[in-house]
Amino acid sequence: MRLDKYLAHATGLTRSRAHGMIRSGQVTVNGAVVKIIGHKLKPDDEVVWREQSVELSGKRYIMLNKPEGVVCATHDAVHKTVLDLLGDEGKKGLHVAGRLDIDTTGLVLLTDDGDWSHRITSPKHGCSKTYRASLAEALAPSVVEQFAAGIELRGEAKKTRPARLELLSPTEVRLTLDEGKYHQVKRMFAALGNRVVALHRERIGSVALDESLLPGQWRELSDEEVAALTA
Ligand code: URA
């Protein structure tokens, strides 16, 4: 996070007053005066203003590009977890807002704000999730209507909600769901006698995975992205 934004968030100063404090040399980072308002802070940096350590008390919102083989869990005896990928940030009470399977890649959101993650995951709010999937068998164009009409999943009394399917090639699709049942994408294709061979989450609501994040990398969400998911 930028130093000016951090100072303003943590102290309640306006952004322009925070600029004044930084430019006049009243702020140190790891013991050294920093006068650059856009100075990029690293997770463990210690910021001091007027001889007081400045801690962010606000909520945290993070997007991560999950690689294959990593689990969306807080602890796992065998596999690396998404929290392990965050390093020390992962020890600060964050949780996953909408899990992915171990072999699914792409956008994972993490936060310590329970209300915010509830809006993303609760079926009541219908927050959409967009996936790109590769299939074992070629699809007929008629599957688009089948997904729009809802699919009967094994062991479920009700059909899935209408889903938007875009055929990118006979074996590649983009699928947008407004719900998140257990293994939903894989189960929807299995119900049609097909099999998902690769699955990647591209988007949650209006927030897309930042293309500059390599697998395993993460960044803080912007204020606009946080707000877009609560709108
Ligand atoms: N649907 C699945 O089947 N797996 C995921 O990881 C996400 C959605």
Extract the tokens encoding 178: 């407004």
Establish whether residue 185 lines the binding site of ligand 1, counting it when its CB lies within 6 angstroms of any ligand atom.
Answer: yes
Q: If you average pLDDT over residues 151-164, what whole number do you get?
A: 95
Closest Cα partner for 100 from 147, 124, 133, 137? Answer: 133
183 close to ligand 1 (CB < 6 Angstrom): yes
Q: Where in 61-191 does DSSP place strands (E)?
A: 61-66, 95-96, 105-111, 129-135, 164-169, 172-177
Q: Do the beta carbons of residue 146 and residue 180 sit within 8 Å?
A: no
| Cα 100 to middle of ligand 1, angstroms | 6
Residue 90 pLDDT exceeds 80? no
Name the percent of the chain lying above pLDDT 90: 78
CA-nearest of 183, 187, 139, 191 to 165 is 139
CB proximity list for 211: less than 8 A, separation 6 or greater: none
pLDDT band at 57 (very low <50, low <70, confident <90, very high): low
- Does ligand 1 lie within 6 Å of residue 100's CB atom? yes
Q: Could you tell me which residues are beta bridge partners of residue 134?
A: 172, 198
Q: Is the pTM of the predicted complex or chain greater than 0.85?
A: no
Report whether pLDDT(226) > 80: yes
The residues carrying an active-site annotation are: 101
Q: Would you say how long the chain is, in residues?
A: 231
pLDDT at residue 48 in the model: 92
